[in-house]
Structure 1
Amino acid sequence: MPGHKGQKFHGLEPWDITEIKGADYLFEAEGIIAQSEAKMAEAYGSRRTFYSAEGSSLCIKAMLGIVCRSGQGKKITVAAPRNVHKAFINACILLDIDVEWIYPKGEFTSICAGSVTPEDVEKVLSRTKADCVYVTSPDYLGDLSDIKGMSEVCRKYGVPLLCDNAHGAYLKFLPESLHPMDLGADMCCDSAHKTLPCYTGGAMLHISNHAPANYDDCAKEIMSMFGSTSPSYLIMESLDLCANYVNGDFPRDLERTVERVKVCKDRITAFGWHTIGEEPMKITVAAYKSGITGDGLADRLREYGIEPEYSDTQYVVLMPSPFNSEEDFLKLEKAFSEIKQPKIRLFGDLPAIPKGIKRMGIRQAAFSAQHTVNVEDACGLICGMTVTSCQPSVPVAVSGEEITPQVIKILKNYGIERINVL
């Protein structure tokens, strides 16, 4: 193996190797992979950093698996806001984890939002025996949670804080770090491929200096439970090259790009568009406030040769990087200066995302016999497989929850017409 024997077929064959002598093995790393991971850990200030060739999805499952191992195999409860990645739900199914959902104080209307405050976290921890807290920050729209405040609450109650930082691998290298490892999280994952120059699937699991020592001992073993025994060496090589970059020129390149993104946001706002979110390397436009849907705006941007990261009925999300040229930014600004804004009210008040009504455990529902129905016919039934849109996002209905009229309204609003039920 591999079958191409290093001969030209796609073009990258000479670098697409497998676990040959001298190449090390990801889940039992002792050689060059271990050395590269140590170099990345130094850059992030973590006690240990572990590579993933299967994105943050693998890291999310591993973080929860590590907490399960620390619990000596007993069933654990995780406190988490609803804006979670599908991998979190899948991990809860596979590991038989109970979830105590943390809801924000006010209502929210976008399934891509739903961040909570330290006060929201404390309210749940004060009445629930959770084994850890899990949060997603940044979220898809570019909002940053108060990780430092949440970490202080978690320390007060003696539980670890886990953070899905998939969209924020670059946050460490801002002039003032906003990375979870510097804000008190015990573990976090970074999707390097989202904001750093890594191949798709390249990600990292970080364990902080103050996390329990036994996390290090079992991390690779837990990752191997969910990961392929044939990880891509092309992806791992890109992570290795990236370790050199973040230890070198990346902070300078990032600072320059952050300044350019701010100018771009200011110009888009000056053209009459509404931008939201605090994340410095994300441009999120509330298109609906200008009388056009996010999907409609995305289609118009494509006419200018611009492909958004995400769009829905309300928003368009764009994710620049230091590898975008000045011409790219000028083209984007030109598009926003020319695209017409109808300035009409598109829809009435958007429905608030409802709290879930639990009728059955997540694992039990996910593995029960299911059938598919039109959403209009699902009222009062139990959700089979969790329904999500963008990733990460607030699941409109989680496995085991009741489908209510409000849930049906939101599903239809996001174009979801069929759903699995028990």
Structure 2
Amino acid sequence: MPGHKGQKFHGLEALDITEIKGADYLFEAEGIIAQSEAKMAKAYGSRRTFYSAEGSSLCIKAMLGIVCRSGQGKKITVAAPRNVHKAFINACILLDIDVEWIYPKGEFTSICAGSVTPEEVEKVLAETEVDCVYVTSPDYLGDLSDIKGMSEVCRKYSVPLLCDNAHGAYLKFLPESLHPMDLGADMCCDSAHKTLPCYTGGAMLHISNHAPANYDDCAKEIMSMFGSTSPSYLIMESLDLCADYVNGDFPRDLERTVERVRVCKDRITAFGWHTTGEEPMKITIAAYKSGITGDDLADRLREYGIEPEYSDTQYVVLMPSPFNSEEDFLKLEKAFSEIKQPRIRLFGDLPAIPKGIKRMGIRQAAFSAQHAVNVEDACGLICAMTVTSCQPSVPVAVSGEEITPQVIKILKNYGIERINVL
């Protein structure tokens, strides 16, 4: 790298190269990067797999860009549940995509929930002309959507299914695969750094064997539209090492860890805590049911030397891996056996996440002149920039939507005091 010349400063300089001869180039890969991507595609059973050194955020934008390219320049509409990552919203702004939101039948109050069923997807497809369906599975709380059922619905209506599988890179290597590539999705993204031994930012875009052939032809070009021209070779090297691991010992290591996580969940439940979510490699605690906020429980766990993946007012999420030792699991079980559960009603009924009232397009709102106001003064105004309480929470208000009293109540509930409006 020109800046450090491979000399020791941080300690990894010798491996931190740039696009020198023989190193290949990520977005025009023909050499060692292409070979590594092919190795990863073999592991996942995909027709093509493309590396990202900028996380699934790059892959999400690329998936939507690929669908736009397939639309031959026409404005496209995507059907999606509300529990989307901010990268999805940003892609819709940049690519001028309209979104037809899919809402679950019942109310949902968690800022990280909102999964839908194949029946709810079909209802939207039967009533609205869309260019693709986009879903998030697993979600942050460990709930898995029925990707197989959704893929069957999408085939019925001849629209592709895209899946944000950022937290599910490992699902392919369970004894019975739960990975979107095996359940009928046309494209999906995996954040390898979330559930595989890979450096932060390492991710993959998979294109399935039954996806339209033109997806392969434009994928790298679309990724280059959003990605840095200086991708990290350290991250790509970690993806290459990951490809060897998932083609080798990882399935065995994963099976052992899944069983240990199951035992750990059972023990935590026996201590009186409430676990939720069916994802086998997540431990999600509904802390509020024990009379303690998720954030307070997370602080208590830190006193035991345990750092959660995520916490909010309701939940704590823990993400074990094959690299956790038996001592780690015993420490976690000890913590849950000792932390007191007040068993009080912590707060009243949480406000339901409302259905958005669209007043203008997402792109138009995001790029219009805007100003910030106090949340309580925003009623009836149009949201300029999409508002979430945190990542990866459900957007409370999306760019172009009207800010209603219910939206204001939720924003204040999560401590959001200012909002950009038109």
For residue 413 of structure 1, report the CA deviation from its aligned partner.
1.4
Structure 1 residue 415: Cα displacement? 1.6
Deviation at 1:393, TM superposition (A): 2.6
Q: Offset at 1:390?
A: 3.9
Q: Identical aligned pairs, as a percentage?
A: 96
CA distance in 2, matches of 1:388, 1:276: 23
Question: Cα offset for 1:416?
Answer: 1.3
Judge conservation of contact 1:312–1:414 (CA < 8 Å) in 2. Answer: no
- 1:190 Cα deviation from its structure 2 partner: 0.1
Determine the C-alpha separation between the residues in 1 that align with 2:190 and 2:327.
29
Q: CA deviation at 1:206?
A: 0.1
* Contact 2:46–2:207, Cα closer than 8 Å, also in 1: yes
Q: Is the 8 A contact 1:283 1:317 kept in 2?
A: yes
Aligned-pair CA distance for 1:420: 1.0
Q: Is the 8 A contact 2:52 2:204 kept in 1?
A: yes
Superposed displacement of residue 14, structure 1: 0.1
Q: Shift of residue 338 of structure 1? A: 0.5
After superposition, where does 1:195-234 map in structure 2 within 5 Å? 195-234=195-234
- Inter-partner Cα distance in structure 1 for 2:184 and 2:389: 30
Q: Deviations over 1:387-413 (max 9, x none)?
A: 113433310000010111111111111
1:279 is displaced (CA, Å) by 0.2
Structure 2 Cα separation of the partners of residues 267 and 231 of structure 1: 43
Q: CA deviation at 1:377?
A: 1.2
Q: How far, CA to CA, are the matches of 1:392 and 1:133 in structure 2?
A: 19
* Runs of 4+ in structure 1 over 2 Å off: 389-393
More deviation in 322-331 or 224-233? 322-331
Give CA deviations for 1:228-271 in whole Å, capped at 9, x if unaligned: 00000000000000000000000000000000000110000000
Instruction: Give the superposition deviation at 1:105.
Output: 0.8
CA offset digits 1:158-195 (Å, max 9, x no partner): 00000000000000000000000000000000000000
Contact 2:83 2:114 in 1 (8 A): yes
Residue 83 of structure 1 deviates from its aligned partner by 0.2
Q: Give the conservation status (yes or no) of the 8 Å contact 2:389–2:411.
A: no
Q: Secondary structure at the match of 1:126?
A: helix
Give the Cα–Cα distance (whole angstroms) in 2 for the partners of residues 2 and 198 of structure 1: 25
The offset of 1:357, in angstroms, is: 0.5
In structure 2, distance between residues paired with 1:334 and 1:324: 15
Deviation at 1:202, TM superposition (A): 0.1
Q: CA deviation at 1:288?
A: 0.3
Residue by residue over 1:95-147, the C-alpha shift from the partner in whole angstroms, topping out at 9 and shown as x without a partner, is 00000000001110001000000000000000100000000000000000000
For 1:393 and 1:47, the matched residues in 2 are separated by 32
Secondary structure in 1 matching 2:127: coil
Q: Does 1:6 align with 2:6?
A: yes
**Which residues in structure 2 correspond to 1:56-135 (within 5 Å)?**
56-135=56-135
Q: Residue 82 of structure 1 contacts residue 393 of structure 1 at CA under 8 Å; is this kept in 2? A: no
Measure the CA separation in 1 of the matches of 2:309 and 2:252. 24
Secondary structure, in 3 states, of the residue corresponding to 2:408? helix
Q: Deviations over 1:347-398 (max 9, x none)?
A: 1111111000001110000001111111111111111110113433310000
Q: Taking structure 2 as the reference length, what is the TM-score of the superposition?
A: 0.99
Q: How far does the alpha carbon of each residue in 1:311-340 deviate from its partner, in whole angstroms, 9 at most, with x for none?
A: 111000011100111111111111100000
**In structure 2, what is the Cα distance between the partners aligned to 1:331 and 1:410?**
36
CA contact (8 A) 1:282 1:319 kept: yes
Instruction: Give, in whole Å, the separation in 2 of the partners of 1:206 and 1:80.
Output: 19
2:188–2:206 Cα contact (<8 Å) kept: yes
Supply the distance in 1 between the matched residues of 2:78 and 2:385 (Cα, whole angstroms).
19
Q: Contact 1:137 / 1:163 at 8 angstroms: preserved in 2?
A: yes
Instruction: Note the C-alpha offset of 1:36.
Output: 0.1
Alpha-carbon distance between aligned partners in 1 of 2:389 and 2:45, rounded to the nearest angstrom = 34
Deviations 1:49-101 (A, max 9, x none): 00000000000000000000000010000000000000000000000000000
Q: TM-score, normalised by structure 1?
A: 0.99
**TM-superposed deviation, 1:17:** 0.0
> Could you tell me whether the CA contact under 8 Å between 2:104 and 2:120 is conserved in 1?
yes
CA contact (8 A) 1:140 1:391 kept: no
Match of 2:369 in 1: 369
- Counterparts of 1:394 and 1:26 in 2: how far apart (Å)? 32
Match of 1:139 in 2: 139
User: What is the rounded CA distance, in whole Å, between the counterparts of 2:302 and 2:270 in structure 1?
Assistant: 21
For this pair of structures, how many residues does the alignment match? 422
The answer as to whether partners of 2:167 and 2:195 remain within 8 angstroms in 1 is yes
Contact map agreement 2:188 2:207 (CA 8 A) in 1: yes
Q: Work out the CA distance in 1 between the residues paired with 2:183 and 2:137.
A: 12
> Quick check: 35-44 or 402-411, which moved more?
402-411
Distance 1:254 1:19 in 2: 35
1:195 and 1:89 map into 2 onto residues whose CA distance is 24
Deviations 1:282-304 (A, max 9, x none): 00000000000001101111111
Structure 1 residue runs without a partner (length 5+): none
User: Could you say what the CA RMSD is over the residues aligned between the two structures, in angstroms?
Assistant: 0.6
